[in-house]
Amino acid sequence: MIRELKISHKDIELIEAELEANNPYEACGVLIGTINGSTALVEKALPVTNVKRTRTSFELDPKEHYDAWNEAEKNGKEIIGFYHTHPVSSAVPSLWDRETMQNDPSVWLIAGADGMRAYVWEDGVKAVKIVEI
């Protein structure tokens, strides 16, 4: 299980900018990088259009998601997780997030009104330590 998410200051700023720019709607994107043991290294946070464009949910644009997956694979990387924003609530998984996480072993990074937190699903929601690099 992933216990630590390493992410650059630049990518954190990008996600925070997405939070502000799309407020009050949720924004989303993919985290491209590598996984080594229990550490996930984000090499690029890539915004993806939220086709739902609501205040309480997100859905990645399928074509953009596919293009991001292709880009990652072409460069020997993978989509290690996803990010989305909670502009009007805290950075904890919603009921919808929890239900969706159960079917996805990826890291979920949530930027909320109260900061940024990361999670994985392992018999329930587990916090992942964020390390800024």
Q: What residue spans define the domains of the chain?
A: 4-132
Quote the pLDDT of residue 54.
87
How far is CA 128 from each of CA 5, 12, 38, 67, 72, rounded to the nearest angstrom? Answer: 7, 15, 10, 27, 22
Cα 46 from Cα 126, distance rounded (Å): 24
Task: Specify the range with the lowest mean pLDDT, choosing from 19-23, 47-51, 53-57, 64-68.
Answer: 53-57
Quote the pLDDT of residue 105.
83
The topology (CATH level 3) of 4-132 is Cytidine Deaminase; domain 2 (3.40.140)
- State both tokens at 10: 């630049």
Cα 38 from Cα 98, distance rounded (Å): 21
pTM: 0.95
Asked whether the beta carbons of 111 and 88 are under 8 A apart, the reply is no
Q: What is the pLDDT of residues 4-36, one digit of tens each?
A: 999 999 999 999 999 999 999 999 999 999 999
